[in-house]
Amino acid sequence: MMPEMSTFSHKKEKLRVAAYCRVSTKHTEQLESLEIQKSYFETVIRENPNWSLVKIYSDVGSALRTKTGLVIGR
């Protein structure tokens, strides 16, 4: 059985885009890096005429490594 084919509108709708920025500590250099990341993504998304910026999410956190190598966010 063949899967149903999607139909696309001929209207060009902008792709809604969000970004996620993260640093692992609250050190000054890391916080500056977070601002640089946010600025970068905002610029890249706004300069693309086919994209619409929804939101830029950011997080300052840390991660723990376990014996298995898994990373667990805190």
The vertex-56 CA angle with 53 and 59, nearest 5°, equals 170
Kindly report, residue by residue over 9-56, the tens digit of the pLDDT: 556 789 999 999 998 888 888 889 999 999 999 999 999 999 999 999
Asked whether the predicted pLDDT for residue 70 surpasses 60, the reply is no
pLDDT at residue 74 in the model: 46
In the chain, where the domains are located:
15-73
What's the pTM?
0.63
In angstroms, the CA 58 to CA 30 distance is 12
33 Cα distance to chain centroid = 15
